Amino acid sequence: MRRVPGSQQSYLPPAQGRWGDRSKRILRHALRSCGTGILPVKRDRLTTCPTESLQTSETPTLPARHHGQDAHATAWEIVAALALSVAISIRILPAALLALAIIQRRYRMALWTIGFVAAETLAAGALAGFATEWNYFTSYIFRLHGLENMREISLLALGRRIAPTPPVGAIMFIAIVAAGVTIFFALVFGPMRRLAPSPLLHIAFVIASMVLFAPLLEYHHYPLLLAPYVLILADLTRRKRLCLTSALPVFLSWAVVSGANQLSHYQFGAIAFAALAGAALIWAYGIWLIVEDRFRPATQSQNSQNMPEI
């Protein structure tokens, strides 16, 4: 204890006694609030600091992922890869879903899918003959265009009907596909890689693209559009945005596709190509939902900043 100059009864404790316990307690709370726990700290080595107040906050820690959760996720990836490989083996177009898995960095699922497809291809070749399998993919599949018993309703068939000259129809189809790929990379690729705003919209977009840009497509392939319809409605319901206005494009697309099929049986064969308009509608609506949610947070934040304070 020491005497304060100018006072006869006031005494101040030593510096260590005045600030030692308080500074140690403050620093202990500060180190605990960091939540790192990397470096051990000794209490007797703490330096003193005359800090009057320090606000601390609890840092939430993420739960550790157990081995059982990893095994469960891997099992579901294997099941999904097996289902996707069967779809690719039956028809090549579902390979677009494999590209979706790669874009979203689901590499284990993609590797499992490629392995299953290779095994199924080898098994089919062993049963039917590798020469027959090779002839189907290199020759027979290209002779399916223009058969009388086929109701081919695709952009390639529409181009050939508009321009009977084969190169012109094929060039029109290639130009439309190139425009679709450009729109994908400009508007959809970034959100798809970030899994934003919802993986449901990405799957709906890919399946709608499979139907819209398929080079060989018959009318019985159009029920694939049921998947985008359900996925878009489910996403709108999940985000509590389902209403008559938001669901109208879905039902309008379904009405166009279904009506085109019905009218095509009553001596209106060309009207069947209107089903492509229904597929294009749900494809464009999926893009609009992705782009709208992509720019919505920035718009809302700007509006909140421009609002006057009350």
**Both structure tokens of 278:** 């229904």
Taking the complete model, does pTM exceed 0.75, yes or no? no
Counting other chains too, the contacts that 301-307 makes at CB distance below 8 Å and 24 or more residues apart are none
d(C-alpha 250, C-alpha 284), whole Å: 11
d(C-alpha 192, C-alpha 106), whole Å: 12
CB 228 within 8 A of CB 249: no
d(C-alpha 50, C-alpha 19), whole Å: 6
* pLDDT value, residue 150: 63
CB 256 within 8 A of CB 277: yes
For residue 152, what are the β-bridge partners? 218
For residue 3, what are the β-bridge partners? 11
The residue type found at 5 is: P
Of 207, 200, 199, 248, give the one whose Cα is nearest residue 224.
207
- Inter-CA distances, 295 with 162, 189, 191, 282, 289, Å: 38, 15, 11, 20, 10
Q: Which residues contact 32 (CB under 8 A, 6 or more apart)?
A: 56
Q: What are the helix (H) ranges across the chain?
A: 15-34, 67-90, 95-103, 107-128, 130-138, 155-162, 166-183, 189-193, 199-212, 226-238, 244-264, 275-306
For residue 218, what are the β-bridge partners? 152
d(C-alpha 97, C-alpha 112), whole Å: 13
d(C-alpha 84, C-alpha 80), whole Å: 6
* Tokens 């177009």 sit on residue: 93
Eight-class DSSP state of 106: -
80-89 exposure pattern, b = at least 16 Cβ within 10 A, e = fewer: bbeebbebbb
* pLDDT value, residue 59: 43
Residue 280 phi/psi, 5-degree rounding, is -65, -35
Domain spans in the chain, listed from the N-terminal domain onward: 2-45, 72-143, 147-294
Encode the chain (310 residues) as per-residue pLDDT tens digits.
455 455 455 444 454 555 556 666 666 666 565 554 444 444 444 444 444 444 444 444 444 555 566 777 788 999 999 999 999 998 889 999 999 999 999 999 999 999 999 999 999 999 988 888 888 777 777 776 656 556 788 898 888 888 888 788 889 999 999 999 999 999 999 999 988 888 999 999 999 999 999 988 888 889 999 999 999 999 999 999 999 999 999 999 999 999 988 887 766 667 889 999 999 999 999 999 999 866 665 445 444 445 444 4
d(C-alpha 38, C-alpha 302), whole Å: 40
d(C-alpha 186, C-alpha 156), whole Å: 24
d(C-alpha 279, C-alpha 256), whole Å: 9
